[in-house]
Structure 1
Amino acid sequence: MATQEYLDFELTIEALPNDQLRVTLANSPVGSATVDVPNPITPAEAERIIKILDGTRRVPRDEATRAVRVFGEKLFSAVFSGQIYGAYLASRAQAAERGLRLRLNLDKAEALYDLPWELLHDPSSDYLALSRQTPIVRYPRVIDVRPVVEISLPLRVLVLISSPSDQAALDVEAEWRSLQEATADLRQRGLLELERVDDAQLIVLQRKLRSGVSYQIFHYIGHATFDERNAVGMLAFESPRTEQTQLVSGEELARELVEQNSIRLVVLNACQSARQVHNNRFSGIASSIMARGVPAVVAMQFPISDEAARIFAHEFYRALSEGYPIEASVAEARRAIKSELGNLEWATPVLFLRAQSGVLFPKRRTFTERPSYGGLREALLRPRVLLGLAALLIVALGLVSLLSSLFGGLSAPTPASPSTPVPIIATFTPTPDAPRNVDLVITRVRFLPSNPAPGQAVTVAIELQNNGTSDSGPFDWVWFDTNAEAENATPALRGTVANLSPRAKTTVIGTYRFGWWGTYLTTAWVNPDNRAPESNIFNNFVPRTLNTGSEPFTVDFSRLPDDSLLEAGVLRGDEFDKWLLRMRVETDGNAECSAAVLLLTLMDDLNQITTGLPNAPQRCANLPVIFELSQPSESPRLRSVLIEFLPTAQGEYTLEVRAADNSVQRRETLRVQPGEVGVPKTLSVTLDGAARLALRVPENARTIIRRLTRTITPTQP
């Protein structure tokens, strides 16, 4: 009997305006968090992936495999970003062998509801849904959910087979045989019964469900479709008169199924039975059944071949019969499809689950039933073994008595006095302290995203393990963004672990932002000062190379290079030195503004750079801002700079390129009309390396700078 008691990692995906997503970690072993991220999936990308999976777009298998993997990694990087990725890694470590169940609530995801979320792919490992350690469960909000109740065996499965004469022929007999083969052992032992219904008509189903037999599972084999025009999922039942198709909506099927109060699982082995309109839970077949309180539904989000459907049913029921919970059984069935067919149909099944446990059918014990514990405990409870143990005990007592009579006089203590009881005191001889054996190693270093743009928040995850046989006690860890052996190298991230037990693992996490394009040789180091004395100090550091992407580098003045928040107030101008950017105010010889400074203000939830006097920010508010842009030697050259600003008056706004002597070499000018005041604008210039720029505004305007974006010349292959 296999057992799996999952820990939950519950995520809510919400679509926001301006193509943003809000990802909320509602429940996890390590807490909750909320992150707003750009939607990484364009409508064209989503349409392409869906067409590949539903077979309407034919591409070579290797091209489809690559496209699906890239899609899954983009989706993963968006959902598991920042604090949520850190929580995910920490939760995986805490869950260990118990497994981490990923619950997705997509009620507010709008158009993103239709995405194949089962393709979530961890760039450092695999598709989450393919492992029973990380099953993916759709977790819709449902008010009424039937509780899981104990049952008396056998477990009864009602199988409805629909094969209308006017539909493409399905190999329903092969699927029926697979069901029988997968459950043969259970049926022989009287633990499960399959009952087949060939007349796929609502009235037949209605009569069957009120026959007095308690069914726990309803399994449908047949055709289904999603009516795009009416936005409703339909099952292809059979007309009682013509045996041709009679379309039955998911709501109509759900109405009949909920009359049978014992049903806890519905399996819809039919194409597109998982689809629905995102804002109408009664539009889909599976969603209609869930909305009426059935705690678990397995359905298909795309067309599925006869062979894949057969393999899924066979492995799904076999895993259930072996004692796995439903989410683990679905994962096992996915892997069976992938290993036997080698295609992408493993992503077609969808599991909707509202029950707190995937063990939907706990067995009810009877008074005559003796619980089975297995192993040694089971053996010890057998009568023959108990008699043997009793005989051994009698012999042992006899030996003890004989030894006492022979040697008792040598060891018997003398009482202190006949009237004073002698206290019984436990004593022991201390043994010398065993030598400590601590061996701390770094087993993995991961970055997410793996190829970040400069300035983008990167989660650095370092997995540590104690290979020794003693507790480590407290120790430190550090991470360098450069070679740790370089001159003046200082850690970019650091932390302390209180203790690590023998063979135990833990994952430490930090956030970092790389300040330029290129290749970084980073180094992770555990126990650098040997705070925890080790048996082997030569395996304590791991170098890891990271290549940044070539995307533009945008500074929005919200965070500093060390990832701390930038607070409103006076700026020195060197806060972004690590990102090779320095700013200052140009007073143009104006004595009244000689004390002017850069100010950081907050407007419309955006940080922005302004100028003014420290105690009178409205004065000297129109001064030019100088940007000193440098770059490392032997690195990609700076190609262009774009500055986003907020015009506060009509007139000319100018971005100047200055020489070393501060003379103007060239300028770009934008004239703002009266109707454009208050609307963000941009000015950009092309460059060839390091530069000095100045932004000028009209005399009656205020200098308000929102973002600065740099690009580089692409590296030639």
Structure 2
Amino acid sequence: MALFKNDVSEYVTPGRVNPARLVVTFTPVQGSPDRYDVTAQVDDDGELMTGEFVARPEWRNANAPFPTSKIYPAEPPRAQLGTQLFSNLFSGALSRCWAQAVERGRQRGLHILIRSSSYALHALPWELLSDPAPTSSEYVAFSEGWSVLRDVPASGEEAMPGIGAPVPAPDLAILVMTTAVTGVNQDSDPGIIRAAFPQTPDVRTIPDAGPEQILEALEAGEAQVAHIMGTGEQTRQGWQDLVVGTPGSPTVLPGKALAKAMEDTPRLRLVVLAACETDRLAAHLAPVVPAVIGIRGIISDAGCQAFLGGLYGALAAGATLSQAVASGRTQQIGFSQSIGDEWAQPVLFLHEDGSIVRPRSHVEDTMVTVLGLRNPTTQAGTEAETAASLLLQIKEENLRALRTQWGEDRREGGQGATPAFVQKQIDHLAEEVEGMGEARRGALP
């Protein structure tokens, strides 16, 4: 648990082993909308087990009216709801699968992946899963290194690409689109993002963004992270559309159009829907974007901003997406005037976990800050290449400083001439810089 506001260190642990992975796949039973056939597997080497799941109507949130008035719909007691969800899923044929997952999770942490193409299934509050065993914590997602994630399988044969290699913070492109429809200050979310990414110059903000502006900005394909404010609205098809504009003049951006705009943007890695009632919209976008965050039901402004602060702070520090969401939940619990268990409202749809940002190391930050060196990570992919690049830049800076101070035209013996030991140092540095430069050029493809 974070000890102070915006502390994300708990969720950025170099060398942390990969967590165990429990994938639970739900397939709707034809003609029975609340029944699902279930398969579950722990890691890739675990036994594939089968079972069934029946969703109760009372587990669903009542749809909030639009425009959002921050009227919170009544829910059953959340701890009880989480226990019911858990018991319905894991107390029968899948109990042995859960036991295997817990055994591996004790040593490595655990990711529980809820996978389904059903919007109704994803509308259930899976983040509240609670193991009724006396030795367990209240919520599964509260255990250290454990997360509840979601996934929508791709409809085509091609698998959705993963997050990809982390990008150096100065090279990251972030697109922030804000709207007045929710009544939230449009400077709040961009301010949170800029504070988390001070080394990222490419943070583009579009205030008062309407549907055409949002689609045009996404279709440009330049952003790797897209942050969109608004609110959700239920559709007859079961997903949600995005509503933007102003409270007095709302405009609907269809979820289908939003998904189409994101479909051909290979650079896009993460979409954050900072908007109430967007969990099903996130599920609609999940087949075309490696990672999507939405909000299930209603969330308070304070709770949402606390979540965003923890999320982006951890991402900027190099955390994986699952760790960053856990960081955001911690900030909600400890440092906001959240209502009830609002930490469970953000949902993460994720095909494969990973880090989006590769932060500079402490050595890199020191060199850049103290010596004013240019950023080496834009030219270096591995740790060895980064170290070599830094060493070359240090030698170049030393050589430049000596030549500036003593001049290259001074000769030994005259007044103000370069001392022999200094000239020897200049000649040695020049030889090293030339040799390292040639080796570096030879290593380039």
Q: Does 1:325 align with 2:326?
A: no
CA shift for structure 1 position 313: 0.6
Equivalent in the alignment of 1:260: 265
What's the counterpart of residue 459 of structure 1?
none
For each residue in 1:570-602, what CA deviation from the matched residue of structure 2 results, as whole angstroms up to 9, or x when unmatched?
Answer: xxxxxxxxxxxxxxxxxxxxxxxxxxxxxxxxx
Query: What does residue 173 of structure 2 align with?
Result: 156
Q: How far off its partner does 1:311 sit?
A: 0.7
SS at match of 1:298: strand
One-letter amino acid of the structure 1 residue matched with residue 24 of structure 2: L
Pick the aligned partner of 1:88 from 76, 94, 98.
98
1:36 and 2:44 equivalent? no
CA distance in 2, matches of 1:272, 1:132: 28
1:350 to 337, 347, 354: 347
Residue in structure 2 matched with residue 405 of structure 1 by the alignment: none
CA distance in 2, matches of 1:120, 1:137: 11
Which aligned pairs between 1:541-580 and structure 2 lie closer than 5 A? none
1:274 matched to 2:279? The reply is: yes
Say which SS state the counterpart of residue 10 (structure 1) adopts.
strand
Rounded Cα–Cα distance in structure 1 between residues aligned with 2:153 and 2:264: 22
Identify the residue that residue 313 of structure 1 maps to in structure 2.
308
Which residue is equivalent to 2:407? none
Tell me which amino acid in the other structure corresponds to 1:220: I
Superposed CA offset, 1:502-548 (max 9, x none) = xxxxxxxxxxxxxxxxxxxxxxxxxxxxxxxxxxxxxxxxxxxxxxx
Partner of 1:683: none
Taking the TM superposition and a 5 Å limit, the aligned residue runs for 1:67-146 are 67-81=77-91, 84-107=94-117, 111-123=120-132, 124-131=136-143, 133-142=145-154, 143=156, 144=158, 145-146=160-161
| 3-state SS of 1:136 partner | strand
What is the distance in 1 between the residues matched to 2:265 and 2:61? 41
Distance 1:370 1:97 in 2: 29
Instruction: Give 2:85's aligned amino acid.
Output: L
Distance 1:121 1:235, change over 3 A: same
- TM-score (normalised: structure 1): 0.43
**Where do 1:338-487 residues align within 5 Å?**
338-340=333-335, 341=338, 343-355=340-352, 357-361=353-357, 371=383
Partners of 1:121 and 1:114 in 2: how far apart? 17
Secondary structure (helix, strand or coil) at the match of 1:135 reads strand
Aligned residue for 2:435?
A: none
The answer to whether the Cα contact below 8 Å between 2:320 and 2:354 also exists between their aligned partners in 1 is yes
Deviation at 1:57, TM superposition (A): 4.1
1:337 matched to 2:332: yes
Q: How does 1:149-228 map to 2 (within 5 A)?
A: 149-150=164-165, 151=167, 153-163=170-180, 167-181=181-195, 183=196, 186-187=197-198, 190-191=199-200, 193-209=202-218, 214-227=222-235
- Structure 1: give runs of 5+ residues left out of the alignment: 276-284, 384-717
Q: Is the 8 A contact 1:296 1:351 kept in 2?
A: yes
Q: Secondary structure at the match of 1:303?
A: coil
- Out of 147-156 and 363-372, give the one that drifted further: 363-372
- 1:151-191: per-residue Cα shift (whole Å, max 9, x none)? 4542121000011xxx452233333333333x1xx42xx35
| Change in 2 beyond 3 A, CA 1:209/1:28 | closer
CA drift of 1:274 comes to 1.2
Shift of 1:130: 3.4
How far apart are the structure 1 equivalents of 2:26 and 2:297? 22
Q: What are the Cα deviations for residues 488-512 of structure 1, in whole angstroms up to 9, with x where unaligned?
A: xxxxxxxxxxxxxxxxxxxxxxxxx
Measured after TM superposition, the shift of residue 138 of structure 1 is: 0.9
Q: Distance in 2 between matches of 1:70 and 1:50?
A: 21
- Following superposition, the deviation at residue 107 of structure 1 comes to 2.7
- Aligned residue identity for 1:68: R
Q: Which residue of 2 aligns with 1:287?
A: 283
Root-mean-square deviation over aligned CA pairs: 3.7
Q: 1:84 and 1:232 mapped to 2: Cα distance?
A: 29
Q: For the residues of structure 1 that align with 2:176 and 2:223, how far apart are their CA atoms?
A: 10
Q: Write the letter of the residue equivalent to 2:178.
A: I
How far is 1:117 from its partner? 1.4
Measure, in 2, the Cα distance between the counterparts of 1:322 and 1:314.
Answer: 12
1:343 CA drift (Å)? 1.7
Letter in 2 for 1:23: V
Residue 254 of structure 2 is matched in structure 1 by 249
Between structures 1 and 2, the one with greater helix share:
2
Q: Distance in 1 between matches of 2:116 and 2:218?
A: 32
Maintained 8 Å contact 1:20/1:36: no
Partner Cα separation in structure 2 for residue 368 and residue 232 of structure 1: 43
User: Could you give the per-residue CA deviations for residues 367-421 of structure 1, whole angstroms, max 9, x where no partner exists?
Assistant: 55772799xxx9xxx99xxxxxxxxxxxxxxxxxxxxxxxxxxxxxxxxxxxxxx
Secondary structure of the corresponding residue to residue 39 of structure 2: strand
Cα deviation digits, residues 630-684 of structure 1 (max 9, x gap): xxxxxxxxxxxxxxxxxxxxxxxxxxxxxxxxxxxxxxxxxxxxxxxxxxxxxxx
- Following the alignment from structure 1 to structure 2, what is the Cα–Cα distance between the partners of residues 85 and 192? 50
* Alpha carbons of structure 1 residues 119 and 199: separation in structure 2 relative to 1, 3 Å: same
Structure with a larger share of its residues in strand: 1
**C-alpha separation in 2, matches of 1:368 and 1:328:** 26
Shift in alpha-carbon separation, 1:149–1:192, aligned structure 2, 3 A: farther
**Distance (Å, rounded) in 2 between the aligned partners of 1:13 and 1:115:** 13
Alignment partner, residue 304 of structure 1: 299
Match of 1:317, SS?
Answer: helix
Q: What letter is aligned with 2:43?
A: S
Distance in 2 (alpha carbons) for counterparts of 1:236 and 1:257: 17
Query: Which residue of structure 2 lines up, in the alignment, with residue 22 of structure 1?
Result: 37
Are the aligned partners of 1:273 and 1:286 in contact in 2 as well (CA < 8 Å)? yes
Q: Conserved in 1, the CA contact under 8 Å of 2:271 and 2:292?
A: yes
Deviation per CA, 1:430-478, whole angstroms, max 9, x where unpaired? xxxxxxxxxxxxxxxxxxxxxxxxxxxxxxxxxxxxxxxxxxxxxxxxx
Letter in 2 for 1:121: S
* SS of equivalent to 2:383: coil
- In the superposition, the TM-score normalised over structure 2's length comes to 0.66
Aligned to 2:425: none
Which amino acid letter does the alignment assign opposite residue 152 of structure 2?
P
Distance 1:83 1:231, change over 3 A: closer
Contact 1:116–1:347 (CA under 8 A) maintained in structure 2: yes
Matched residue, 1:418: none
Change (3 A) 1:48 1:179: closer
Return the letter of the residue paired with 2:13: A
Check the 8 A contact 1:132/1:331 in 2, yes or no: no
1:253 CA displacement: 1.8
Paired residue secondary structure (1:172): coil
CA pair 96-198 structure 1, distance change in 2 beyond 3 A: same
Question: Structure 1 residues 173 and 32 mapped into 2: Cα distance closer, same or farther (>3 Å)?
Answer: same
Contact 2:22 / 2:40 at 8 angstroms: preserved in 1?
A: yes
CA distance in 2, matches of 1:372, 1:342: 48
How far apart are the structure 2 equivalents of 1:368 and 1:230? 47
Partner of 2:402: none
CA distance change for structure 1 residues 99 and 57 in 2, over 3 Å: closer, same or farther? same
Amino acid in structure 2 at the alignment position of 1:236: V
CA deviation after TM superposition for structure 1 residue 50, in Å: 8.0
Give the secondary structure class of the aligned counterpart of 1:270: strand
Gaps of 5+ in 2: 1-11, 65-69, 360-375, 396-445
Percent identity at matched positions?
24
- Structure 1 residue 315 displacement after superposition: 0.6
Q: Is the 8 A contact 2:105 2:146 kept in 1?
A: no
Q: Which amino acid aligns with 1:22?
A: D
Q: How far apart, in 2, do the equivalents of 1:50 and 1:225 lie? A: 9
Whole-angstrom distance in 2 between the partners of 1:6 and 1:371: 24
